[in-house]
Amino acid sequence: MYETRISCLDLKSVADSGQCFRWKTEGCKVGIIAFGRYVEISQRGDVFSFDCTRQEYEDIWRNYLDIDTDYELVCGRADGLNDSLLRAAVNAGRGIRILNQDFFEVLISFIISQNNNIPRIKKITEAFCERFGKPVYASKKMAGFSFPAPEDLRNLKPQDLKGLGLGYRDKYLCDAVRWYLSGGEDMVLELRNMPAGEQRRILKQSICGVGDKVANCVMLFGLHKLDACPIDVWMKKLIKEDYGGVCPAWMTDKYAGIYQQYTFYYKRGAR
C-alpha cells in the first residue's frame, strides 16, 4: 500500500474519458490491468492509495498516470486562450490526464474503436483479452486477463476473431499485428523521435485500417504526442455546432490533444 497526493486527477473521469477501455470502477476505486500487472487505486479528494509497493508505483504507475506532466500549467494555459467553451470543458474535465499506455494496446484498441461506440468498444476489447490474453493474478485471486502480447497473436487470421463482434475490423486488426511483428515494434522506437506529420504518414501507410483519426489517437495515447488532435464525430459536431464550422485556435496548440480530451469529454457528456 502506497499513499500519495496527486493534483488534476480524477479516476472516474479518466475511466470514462474514452482513452482507455479496460478500467473497472467501483465507487471511489478503480482496478487497472496494464503491462501485465493489476493494481487497485482508491481516491479521496487528491489523496490516492495504490494497492502496491512504493517501488512499483515509482516504476510503473507514476509514468502510466503521467504524473510528471504539469496539468495545472496546461489548464492555466487554456485559460489564456480566451475561449469560453474550452474553459468550460477544462473545468468539467480537469482530472483527466493523458495516460502513457502500451503502444500495441492503444493501436489495437483504436482500430476496434472506429465507427463504434464506447460501450461496445469495451465489450469487444474485453472479449478479445479473454480469448488471447493471460490470467493476471492479484494476491492469488484472478483479477482478469492481460491485453494480449503481440507474440501471442502471430499469424492471426480474421476467422480467429469470430464471435468477438469485430465485424469488418477483423482484417484491420490482423494487419496491425502483422505490421507490429514484422518491423513495427522497432519502427515505434523511431516514431518517438519524429514530428507529428511523419508519425501520422507512416502509421497510415503501414497499417490498413489506420487513417487520420486512429493515427492521431495512437500518437496521442500511445506515443504521448500531446499536440495530436483526433477529430471524431463528436469533434466534428463541436466544430459545426459550437464554432460555426471553423476549427478553433486551440486545436493547433502544443497541448491540442489534451484540450481535445477535455472537450470530447465535455461534449459527449452534455448530451
- Give residues in contact with DNA (CB under 7 A): 17-19, 110, 113-121, 165-168, 204, 207-215, 217, 230-235, 237, 260-261, 264, 268
d(CA 96, CA 109): 19
Least distance between DNA and beta carbon 141 (Å): 29
Residue with cell 500511445: 222
Least distance between DNA and beta carbon 182 (Å): 17
Residue 3, classed as helix, strand or coil, is strand
Instruction: Give the nearer residue to DNA in terms of CB position, either 224 or 268.
Output: 268
d(CA 207, CA 162): 21
Does residue 181 contact residue 175 with C-beta atoms inside 8 Å?
Answer: no
Q: What do you get for the CA distance between the two ends of the chain, in Å?
A: 39
d(CA 175, CA 170): 9
Instruction: Give the nearer residue to DNA in terms of CB position, either 37 or 213.
Output: 213
Task: Provide the grid cell at 99.
Answer: 495516460
Instruction: Give the nearer residue to DNA in terms of CB position, either 183 or 211.
Output: 211
Return all residues near 78 (Cβ < 8 A) that are at least 6 apart: 86, 87, 90, 250, 255, 259, 262
**Any long-range contacts for 188-193 (C-beta under 8 Å, 24+ apart)?**
188/103, 188/223, 191/223, 192/223
Does residue 208 contact residue 171 with C-beta atoms inside 8 Å?
Answer: yes
> How is residue 88 annotated by DSSP?
H
Least distance between DNA and beta carbon 211 (Å): 3
Instruction: Give the nearer residue to DNA in terms of CB position, either 134 or 236.
Output: 236
Instruction: Give the nearer residue to DNA in terms of CB position, either 156 or 217.
Output: 217
Instruction: Give the nearer residue to DNA in terms of CB position, either 52 or 161.
Output: 161
Least distance between DNA and beta carbon 250 (Å): 13
Task: Provide the grid cell at 30.
Answer: 478503480
d(CA 80, CA 62): 29
Instruction: Give the nearer residue to DNA in terms of CB position, either 52 or 174.
Output: 174
Least distance between DNA and beta carbon 207 (Å): 7
Least distance between DNA and beta carbon 100 (Å): 15
Least distance between DNA and beta carbon 137 (Å): 29
